Amino acid sequence: MELKILDIQGKETGKKVSLDDAIFGIEPNDHAIYLDVKQYLANQRQGTHKSRGRSEVIGSRRKLGRQKGSGMARPGDIKSPIRVGGGRVFGPVPRSYRFKLNKKVKQLARKSALSYKAQNNAIIVINELNFDAPKTKDFVTLTNNLQVADKKTLFILTSGNKNVYLSARNLKKSKIATVSELNTYSILDAHNLVFTEDALVTLQQNFKA
């Protein structure tokens, strides 16, 4: 599959780039995508939730009623889980939600997500992306030229570019990522992917390595 390379004005440069069918043309594996996205979201969780158990609640250990004769359950102290303000039974405790996922499964998931984007014609390639100074207005003009201003778009660069990042920081529908930061979730979360020419070459080389 070949794509025309555009400039930042959205015009054709006369050059084309080929998308590797081994990356952008495979049969997508939905289960691999599910596992990779699940792991990504699980890794974002802090796992700091905590509730107090019976032994942690502050209060007296005095028995609040007689053992028998009340017609109800045996009353315990004020810390009892059946009383208002008592400890919680089997409450949440701090834990890690991380789990292991094989490298090949993650790689298959990313290829599957990229293949979906290629099938939907949601990939754009530009020759370069660089600003002399941070300016949101210039980035808005770029999105208008590429006709992606009203859609969630992920711009993928070879390496970090501070001016580009700062220019897009205030735009809700535009995100910046480098090739090394690219993951299945961010690919699927965006409606369009905009690669620089160098970033696309680097991505395809990384998958072959």
Q: Where are the domains of the chain?
A: 2-46+100-208, 51-91
Retrieve residue 74's tokens. Answer: 């045996």
Amino acid 31: pLDDT: 97
User: How confident is the model over 169-178, as pLDDT tens digits?
Assistant: 999 999 999 9
Side chain identity at residue 117, one-letter code: K
Max CA distance (Å), the chain = 93
Summarize pLDDT for 156-167 with one digit per residue, the tens: 999 888 999 999
Q: Which fold has domain 2-46+100-208?
A: Ribosomal Protein L4; Chain: A; (3.40.1370)
pLDDT for the residue numbered 209: 67
Ranges of the chain whose pLDDT falls below 50 = none
What is the pTM assigned to this prediction?
0.83
The CA distance from 81 to 76, in Å, is 9
Those residues whose C-beta lies under 8 Å from the C-beta of residue 124, and which sit 6 or more positions away, are 3, 6, 146, 148, 192, 193, 194, 195
